Amino acid sequence: MPEGDTVRRTCSRLHEALAGRRLLAAELRWPGLSTASLAGATVVEVVARGKHILIRLDTGWTLHSHLRMEGQWRIERTRAEGPASRRDNVRAVLVTETWTALGLRLGRLDLIRTAAEQSAVGQLGPDILEADFDAGVAVANLARAGGAIGAALLDQRNLAGIGTIWASESLFAERLNPWREDLSGDELRRLVKRARGLMLAALKQHADPRVHGRSGRPCRRCGGIVRVAQIGPPTRERTMFYCPACQGGLAPGDHGRPLAPRGAGRR
């Protein structure tokens, strides 16, 4: 699932292409939205809120989307014959004189009043990439959440924008076991600061993960074997990569059986 830094880059590209431009045509291929008329509206701005994308229009409406696992927004030059959008995976088409935005494989698409955006994103904790990010609130939310710290980091109600990549990477950087439940206030503050720093850096340049996606391979810090396990409550489990040697032991239920390197055996 794209994380906060990827979503923010997507919003930046959409804003550059669409903001201040009038929609010549628009098509929403989503249940309940197929008859919505957006043509003639002008895009005011495109902003990110955690992993959510908000395309605000001058009509007082916001097109809200979430990429989920495989979604993306693609931008292409507007063609005289219309966009090449007759594909089954296209969920939204926004056409301006110069640029056309295609929403592919979107996981969620809503049309909501801009004044009521809280109905879609109000449950989120502080956005870790916002300039006015309130680390104190995020730390308090994590402390109150309890349970495994890795699962708490992934809960967007505590702080928004972190996914499995940056949860794994920040816990690894701080040498914290993802399944620990007893972090001190200082440890939580350092962890939140680390996660924000890693994600801000990733906004500027491609990041090379130290632990994520490296199950069965040597740890880049200690040479031990990186492992992967599920974390989180039933039906909401997520993947967590970690180094037992660096991060205080194995995950619950992990008996240390050998792991093949991620991708081994694939053709």
Q: What is the CA radius of gyration of the chain?
A: 21
Cβ-based neighbours of 199, under 8 Å, separated by 6 or more: 3, 4, 5, 128, 129, 161, 162, 166
Q: Is 91 a catalytic residue?
A: no
Given 189, 217, 238, 262, the catalytic residue? 238
Given 2, 83, 178, 244, the catalytic residue? 2
C-alpha distances in Å from residue 59, one per residue of 15, 37, 109, 168: 17, 11, 18, 41
What gap in Å lies between CA 32 and CA 115, rounded to an integer? 20
Residue 238: exposure state from Cβ atoms within 10 A (0-12, 13-18, ≥19): middle
Q: Is 3 a catalytic residue?
A: yes
Q: Is 204 a catalytic residue?
A: no
For the beta sheet containing 43-49, the strands, ordered from the edge strand earlier in sequence to the opposite edge, are 43-49, 52-57, 61-66, 108-113
Tokens 């660096």, residue located: 246
DSSP class of 42: B
Given 8, 51, 210, 214, the catalytic residue? 51
User: Does residue 241 contact residue 227 with C-beta atoms inside 8 Å?
Assistant: yes
User: Does residue 4 contact residue 162 with C-beta atoms inside 8 Å?
Assistant: yes
**What amino acid positions are annotated as catalytic residues?**
2-3, 51, 238
